[in-house]
Amino acid sequence: MRRSVFYIFTFIILNNQFLFCYSFNKERINHCNISFTQNVEDQTKNDSISTKQKLSKARSLFRKSNFEEALDIALDVYTQSKNNKYEEIQFSSCLLIGRIFFESRQYERAVQYYRRLLNTSSRDIHDNLLQNDNSSSIFLTKNKPRLYFRLGNAYVQLYNNSDLKTHELKELKEKIESLGGAEKEIQKKTIETIKSYRDSAIYFFNQLERTPSLNNDVIDIKGKSYITLSALYLSDSLYSEAKNFANNAINIYKQSNDKLNLAKAHTNFASIFLYKGDFENAKKRYYFALDAIKNLKTQHAVELKYALYYNIAWAMRNLKDYKAYDNLEISNELLKNLEANETKKRIKQTELKHFESLKKLESDKEVEIAKIKKDSTDKLLGGLTILIVIVSAVIIYNIKLRQRNLKLKLEQSKLVEKQKIDHLKSEAQVKILNATIDGKETERKQIAETLHDSVSALLSSANMHLRATKKQFNGTTPVELEKTQDIILEASEKVRDLSHNLVSSILLKFGLEYAIKDIAKKYSNRELEFHTEISNVHRYSQEFEIKLYNVIHELVNNIIKHSKAANAYLIIEEKNNFLSVRIEDDGIGFNYKVSNSGSDGLGLNQIEARIQMMNGNFLVESGVNQGSKITFSVPVLIKSQTSFV
């Protein structure tokens, strides 16, 4: 700052005041110097205050999830503070930019700014120590642990998004040795990049570990890093390391009485037992975590409760404790609440963005038109909210009604003879699995319909109003309107793609035959070719077609992942009101009895339960190095008119 003031002062003296001041005596020259120095210092002070106010506004927008506007202001503050050498503001704005990119899931950009900040802070700390600038050095040193944590966390996200873990990287590395040429180099480079993400994350967490624990803030940051490291090692099946870091986090948050992070640490500890098949200890640990946050009602606490109830249900199911269904229902109820809160949050964000765009209009007439549009939008959003509430109420009512029916059946089953108990338990398991799958299918269809019929329609309406507004500018359309229209078009395309991914549009529009042919065409390549033989297949009820499509799609995925086959056959035929399906491959096959008794057979168990609930038959014929053949048949449901998404 002192250097900047000196350079500005010297420039002014040389260009504007040199001859004037030279004609006066020495005392007058000294008076000019003092006057100009004071003016420059005042201007610098005002610039610093203005920059801090901008940074405060950017933080406020960031907390409201208005990332785009917050990023514009933060970048402007970063450039200005860098030119004027405001070290603290430069550090804070760069950290905020990294957080914006992180929350926007642009982790590579976040890493760029965090590393830039790390290099800058290291250099500035050294320079400030030489210049005895203790305030800047203390600020940079104080925030460096937080920077190490954010860098490590960003690399963890990059590693998790790669969908490959340590043991999978080893298998892939051995596999690509058989490749040649450019493809082999590309695969090697990909493996090195993914491995570097994990190594970088561990490196920065180690740097944080070496930082002295001078205050509670540093200890808290270290605790969060232990939670992240335990999850990282758990995903790589390194249970000993994961257990140590989870224990470290538990010890820290027991002392600080941080209930939420204590629950997270217990959750990671429990998941270690769950992965190792120790379901009893896993259940106990999950209950420890649940007990820690039982009185918390924050968004993060509710999300964690949902995951805990779901994991407890899974552990209890493996322990054959049939109260697992109660925990699963609680988990589903929490998920419904989370989705409702997320919808309300998005509606509020839309209202906020719309309100801020109204402020930018200049004339009273344009403001009045924008208010009318806002009123219309509010009515549409209000109608959408009411519709969501009604749909949620219907879903909750159906779930409660289903719960009552299940409880009634369980009470009646107590009167049955002891020899029928095992049979009833197996039926309960099947119903739990199918209720979960039915719920997922229904939710996916409802979300797809809501996206297509409501959200897409709202975006199209907003785009229409923007086009009408642009015509009123007589060829001088503001850049903001053009950008807004581009953003709405991009959002509309993403909503449409998302709705199609949730439920196959080909299945809903053209039926099971064309959807299966589309699967065969989509997944066939030079290594594996799918052949289809479909005869006498018509349109059926939409629910029936979706269930069959999901079963066939899951079996096709198993062939792609595990069979190593060159050819696969999808043979479907309707005969005597039964739909018969046969799926074969010439791959390595498997021992169905062994696979079905362990964890690997869980997918086939679900499929078999699904077919049984449809009053069908299911048969698996396979052996090692003998390929596999799966056959099932289900009665055709009464045909009905389908509704398209």
578-585 and 529-535 as β-strands: parallel, antiparallel, unpaired?
unpaired
CA atoms within 13 A of residue 443's CA, in its CB half-sphere: 14
pLDDT of amino acid 3: 44
On whether residue 187 sits in a domain, the answer given is no
Q: Which of 628, 626, 623 is nearest to 583 (CA)?
A: 628
CA dihedral 622, 626, 628, 633 (to 10 degrees): -70
238 and 154 belong to one structural domain: no
Q: Which of 93, 199, 88 is nearest to 151 (CA)?
A: 199
Query: What's the mean pLDDT when you consider all of the chain?
Result: 75
Boundary residue ending a domain (503, 519, 553) = 503
On whether residue 328 sits in a domain, the answer given is no
pLDDT of amino acid 225: 87
What's the CATH code of the domain at 568?
3.30.565.10
The residue ranking higher by pLDDT, 324 or 542, is 542
Instruction: With cut-offs at 50, 70 and 90, classify the pLDDT of residue 241.
Output: confident
Instruction: With cut-offs at 50, 70 and 90, classify the pLDDT of residue 572.
Output: very high
529-535 and 567-575 as β-strands: parallel, antiparallel, unpaired?
parallel
On whether residue 291 sits in a domain, the answer given is yes
**Range scoring the smallest mean pLDDT among 209-223, 356-370, 517-531, 620-634:** 356-370
d(CA 277, CA 607): 23
pTM over 0.85: no
> In which order are the strands placed within the sheet that holds 617-622?
529-535, 567-575, 578-585, 628-635, 617-622
pLDDT of 295 higher than 80: yes
DSSP 277: T
**H or E element, residue 228:** helix 216-235
pLDDT of 211 higher than 80: yes
Q: How far is C-alpha 70 from the chain's CA centre?
A: 21
360 and 286 belong to one structural domain: no
311 and 392 belong to one structural domain: no
Q: How far is C-alpha 511 from the chain's CA centre?
A: 32
On whether residue 201 sits in a domain, the answer given is no
9 and 147 belong to one structural domain: yes
pLDDT digits (tens, 9 = 90+) for 333-384: 666 565 555 655 554 554 455 445 445 555 666 667 777 877 878 888 888 8
| Single-letter residue type at 379 | K
Q: How far apart are the first and last CA of the chain?
A: 62
18 and 144 belong to one structural domain: yes
On whether residue 166 sits in a domain, the answer given is no
590 and 546 belong to one structural domain: yes
Other C-beta atoms closer than 10 Å to the C-beta of 254 total 12
Tell me the two tokens of residue 538. Answer: 């018509």
57 and 70 belong to one structural domain: yes
pLDDT of 576 higher than 60: yes
pLDDT of amino acid 172: 55
Tell me the two tokens of residue 415. Answer: 């009167």
Boundary residue ending a domain (484, 503, 522) = 503
294 and 406 belong to one structural domain: no
286: helix, coil or strand? Answer: helix
Boundary residue ending a domain (146, 161, 176) = 161
562 and 604 belong to one structural domain: yes
pLDDT digits (tens, 9 = 90+) for 302-342: 888 788 888 888 788 788 776 655 665 666 666 656 555 56
Q: Is 521 exposed, middle or buried (0-12, 13-18, 19+ CB in 10 A)?
A: exposed
Helix pair angle (542-558, 602-613), 10° resolution = 160
Most confident listed range (170-179, 459-468, 615-624): 615-624
In the predicted model, what is the mean pLDDT of residues 510-514?
89
Residues in CB range of 467: below 8 A, 6 or more apart? 485
499 and 374 belong to one structural domain: yes
567-575 and 578-585 as β-strands: parallel, antiparallel, unpaired?
antiparallel
Place of tokens 């920077």: 147
pLDDT digits (tens, 9 = 90+) for 65-103: 888 888 999 888 888 887 776 677 888 888 889 889 988
pLDDT of amino acid 100: 92
Q: Which of 177, 89, 102 is nearest to 136 (CA)?
A: 89
Domain that holds residue 530: 507-635
What's the CATH code of the domain at 243?
1.25.40.10
Q: What is the tally of structural domains in the chain? A: 4
On whether residue 97 sits in a domain, the answer given is yes
pLDDT of amino acid 606: 81
156 and 227 belong to one structural domain: no
Please report, for residues 49, 61, 81, 373, the alpha-carbon distance to residue 90 in angstroms, rounded to integers and kept in the order given. 13, 18, 5, 40
| Single-letter residue type at 169 | L
SS (H, E, C) 307-350: HHHHHHHHHHHHCCCCCHHHHHHHHHHHHHHHHHHHHHHHHHHH
54 and 5 belong to one structural domain: yes
Q: Is 11 exposed, middle or buried (0-12, 13-18, 19+ CB in 10 A)?
A: exposed
d(CA 343, CA 418): 48
On whether residue 17 sits in a domain, the answer given is yes
On whether residue 199 sits in a domain, the answer given is no
